[in-house]
Each structure stands twice: as structure tokens, then as C-alpha cells.
Amino acid sequence: MVKLVSIFFGCVFALQIAAQDAKPSFEAYVESLKHEAKALEFSDAFLQQAFTDVTFYKRAIKADKNQPEFKITLDKYLKTRVPDWKVKQAVELYNTHQPLLEEIGKTYGVQPRFIVALWGNESNFGKIQGNYSIVSALSTLAYEGRREAFFKKQLFAALQILNEGHISQDKFVGSWAGAMGQSQFMPTSFLTYAEDYDKDGKKDIWSNPADVFASIANYLAREGWNDQITWGRQVRLPENFDLSLAGLNKSKMQSLAAWQTLGVRRFDGSDLPNVDLQASLIMPDDEHGRIYLVYSNFHTLMRWNRSTYFGSAVSYLADRIKKGA
Ligand SMILES: [Ca+2]
């Protein structure tokens, strides 16, 4: 029996070694990606060109494995993410681009300050877009295998963007995770939401302000944005408030009148607005941190990025722009 067991484990061990050996080299994996892409009707010549100099990015793997989960408080996050200099820049850029922003805001039904707030939070107003080759970053992450199906889908979407000629290959760069341009769209988001606002035939979210603003606005509009209302507001709770009422789940939304009856007040202690709106109560940290009542627009921001910290930073910057502009 002892012998049988050891033979069994010996076999398992041998199989594990075989499985490790079976992982292809990155180069071989890229060949298989090209092969799959060919079935999607990209030409040989295009694929040859698109994968020229494809590089394995060790750093992308490292970054993917070490994504910081927020251990800081929301207050600290907002200070880091939306420092005063960023608010100042946001207001300046809002004023610089005001006619274009207002035109696009009207066209899509999105208040311009939210376009600028997303622009600032995603790429520091276009200044930090990432320098990784998109094809290399996505090939690397697909090869790593933890989320292979997701990154392959993004890679094939990226190839489509390149093939459609929206951007030249040498400028086809972004974050290590494949987020691109001033709006930091993933390739599939680009295909769904990016806009060619100036009608030059290219959806240029890397360097054309009109395309960048319109693409951001289009994303929000398509995900249900309502420009007649804002995102929500910071509130305070009465003592002994039932904290189980908090949460982003839509089943927990209540009218402002109902929240008012429950004792929720604006942060300055005054009554909630007397308007017919549904709102969710959220506590991104806990009951000791910032507490917000948020409207449907905040739920739209959650579709852009599921982090309530991110949504809070965008909302916070949009409010500061409103005060400053
Ligand atoms: Ca364009």
C-alpha cells in the first residue's frame, strides 16, 4: 500500500512537471495569438506588422499581481488623487476649452465639469497616458494566463483599432493593463464608446481634445447619465441610524424624502433638497468616514470604474470645478 501511494504521488508530481513544461514560450504563444487573430480576418501583412517588436513586459505581470487594494482612508485618497494643484489645473483647462466642452456637453447631455473631472482623474488631463505598447502589454497579460480570455478579447479589440487606422502603431501606447489615451479606455470600451467628434475619420483619444471629450461624454450618456441632476452629496447621519440601509445595490435606493424622514441631513446639517429623486446611501470607508447620498449618475460612474473611491474622486473634482469655474 505504501508503495502504491508513493507511486501515485510520483505520478502526480511527474504530471505537474509535464504541465509546467507544456507552457509555451512567449514567442510561441504570440504565434498562436496571430493564428487566432487570422481567423478574425486580419490580414497576414497587418498581423506581421502589428506584432513586430512585440515584447514580454515583466513589469506588467508584476504590476498586475501587485495592484494596491486601498488600505488608505477615502480622505487620504482624495488628498492624493485630487490635490489642490489638480483642482487649479482643472479649472484652468475648463476655461481654456469652455466653448468646445459646452458644445459637447449639450450634444451628449453631460455637464462639462464631469468630463473634465474624468479626464483629470484618468490621465492627469492627458499628461499621463502610459508608455507601454498596447499590443505587447495585452499579449503579455494574456500569456500570463490568470485572465487570459479577458486580455485576449482586449488584444483582438486593440488589433481592430489599429487596423481601422485610428492611431499609428508607434503611438499605440497606454498603461501596463492596456488602458489607452486621455480617457484610459480599454480596447473594448474604445470600440463601444469612442467618438470621432471632429469628423477627420479617426477616433483619436490620444491627442485630439474634441475626440477625447466626446468619447468621455458618450460613455456617460450611453450608460444613463442625466445632466439635469448632479452625482449626489455628502451627508451626515442621525444617532443610532440603521447602517444596513447603506449600499449601492439598487434595491436600497430610496427617495430623498424618505432619507429626510430617516434623519439624514446635508453635511452642514440642513435639510435634504426637496426634489423627487431616488438615492443610495454609501459609506466608502465606514460610518466614521465620508458618507454620501448618491443619485443615478453615481451609479453610471460605477460602470466606468467599480471603485467607490474612484467615483468619489471624480465627483469631488467635479464639485471643486463648479466652485472654481
Ligand atoms: Ca477625430
Sorting pLDDT into bands at 50, 70 and 90, what band is 68?
low
Convert the pLDDT of each residue in 232-279 to its tens digit. 999 999 999 999 999 999 999 999 999 999 999 999 999 999 999 999
Assessment of whether the complete model's pTM goes beyond 0.85: yes
Supply the pLDDT for residue 13.
47
Give the angle subtended at the CA of 140 by the CAs of 42 and 29, to the nearest 5°: 60
- Centre of ligand 1 to C-alpha 306, Å, is 29
Q: How far apart are CA 137 and CA 7, in angstroms?
A: 42
The DSSP line for 248-299 is: S-GGG-EEHHHHHHTT-EETTSPPPP-S--EEEEE-SS-TTS--EEE-HHHH
- Centre of ligand 1 to C-alpha 212, Å, is 9
Provide φ and ψ at 266, rounded to 5°.
-60, 165
Q: Taking residues 73-92, what's their average pLDDT?
A: 96
Supply the pLDDT for residue 204.
98
Grid cell in block for residue 241: 441610524
Q: How far apart are CA 99 and CA 86, in angstroms?
A: 21
Residue 15 has pLDDT above 70, yes or no: no
Work out whether strand 132-133 and strand 265-266 pair parallel, antiparallel, or are unpaired: unpaired
The DSSP line for 159-186 is: HHHHHTTSS-GGG-EE-TT--BTTTTB-
182 Cβ contact list (under 8 Å, min separation 6) = 119, 122, 123, 125, 126, 129, 205, 206, 207, 212
Q: How far apart are CA 209 and CA 244, in angstroms?
A: 43
- Centre of ligand 1 to C-alpha 83, Å, is 31
Q: Residue type at 312? A: S
2 Cβ contact list (under 8 Å, min separation 6) = none
- B/e letters for 91-110, b = 16+ CB within 10 Å, e = fewer, are bebbeebeebbeebbeebeb
Supply the pLDDT for residue 276.
96
Q: How far apart are CA 119 and CA 115, in angstroms?
A: 6
The Cβ of residue 228 has, within 10 Å, a number of other Cβ atoms equal to 8
**Lowest model confidence (mean pLDDT) among 66-75, 159-168, 218-227, 293-302:** 66-75
Rg (Cα) of the chain, in Å, rounded?
24
Sorting pLDDT into bands at 50, 70 and 90, what band is 20?
low
- Centre of ligand 1 to C-alpha 58, Å, is 34
- For residue 158, the Cα-to-chain-centroid distance in whole angstroms is 16
Grid cell in block for residue 260: 429626510
Label residue 163 exposed, middle or buried (CB < 10 Å: 0-12, 13-18, 19+): middle
- Centre of ligand 1 to C-alpha 95, Å, is 22
- Centre of ligand 1 to C-alpha 251, Å, is 40
Sorting pLDDT into bands at 50, 70 and 90, what band is 61?
confident
Convert the pLDDT of each residue in 244-256 to its tens digit. 999 999 999 999 9
Sorting pLDDT into bands at 50, 70 and 90, what band is 2?
very low
Q: Could you give the domains of the chain?
A: 73-128+199-228+300-325 (1.10.530.10), 232-294 (no CATH)
256 Cβ contact list (under 8 Å, min separation 6) = 272, 273, 274, 275, 276, 277, 279, 293
Average pLDDT, the chain: 93
Residue 8 has pLDDT above 80, yes or no: no
- Centre of ligand 1 to C-alpha 214, Å, is 10
Residue 70 has pLDDT above 70, yes or no: no
- Centre of ligand 1 to C-alpha 96, Å, is 20
- Centre of ligand 1 to C-alpha 104, Å, is 14
Q: What 8-state DSSP symbol labels residue 133?
A: E
- Centre of ligand 1 to C-alpha 97, Å, is 16
Convert the pLDDT of each residue in 305-314 to its tens digit. 999 999 999 9
Residue 49 has pLDDT above 70, yes or no: yes
128 Cβ contact list (under 8 Å, min separation 6) = none
- Centre of ligand 1 to C-alpha 165, Å, is 11
- Centre of ligand 1 to C-alpha 207, Å, is 9
Report the residue count for the chain.
325
Residue 11 has pLDDT above 70, yes or no: no
